[in-house]
Amino acid sequence: MKIAGYAALFGVPDGARDTIHIGAFRRSLGERIDPLPLFWQHHPEQRIGWVEHASEDARGLRIVANIDNPDSRAALLLRQRAIDGLSFGYRARAFRRDERGRALDEVEIFEVSLVTHPLQHEARVHFIEPE
């Protein structure tokens, strides 16, 4: 099962008051040799697939991923549209603080997760490949 969506949006403060700037993922994505894992709810012991493609566009970090098992609970919940949030695990490499929170200029991304409640409300799956 293939999905596509945005794991992060640029210029939109998240629930933790972090704002990601365009270009923040460029170095990390360029350095990656292996594909990013796709986790369930940020749990590394629950890898549900792999990110086939991750890139920045004007809106944010767009991903295309495969769910390993199309009969899994995650796939069922996606098809039912009971879950569609996306998120990512990272370490801030460069940021600035101001009265609004942190401005993230560079991040090292480790994983993408399918989540129930993304910190960025609009970080969502927007395409599910029909089977």
Confidence band, pLDDT 50/70/90 cuts, at residue 84: very high
Total count of domains within the chain: 1
pLDDT digits (tens, 9 = 90+) for 67-77: 999 999 999 99
Q: Would you state the pLDDT for residue 131?
A: 67
Tell me, what CATH number does 35's domain have? 3.20.16.10
| Contacts with 32 (C-beta within 8 Å, 6 or more apart), sequence order | none
Let me know: does 48 contact 38? Beta carbons within 8 Å.
yes
Give 30's pLDDT tier (boundaries 50, 70, 90). very high
pLDDT at res. 99 = 85
Containing structural domain, residue 107: 2-128
Please report the pLDDT score of residue 90 as a whole number. 96
Average pLDDT score, the chain? 96
Mean pLDDT (whole number) for 120-124: 96
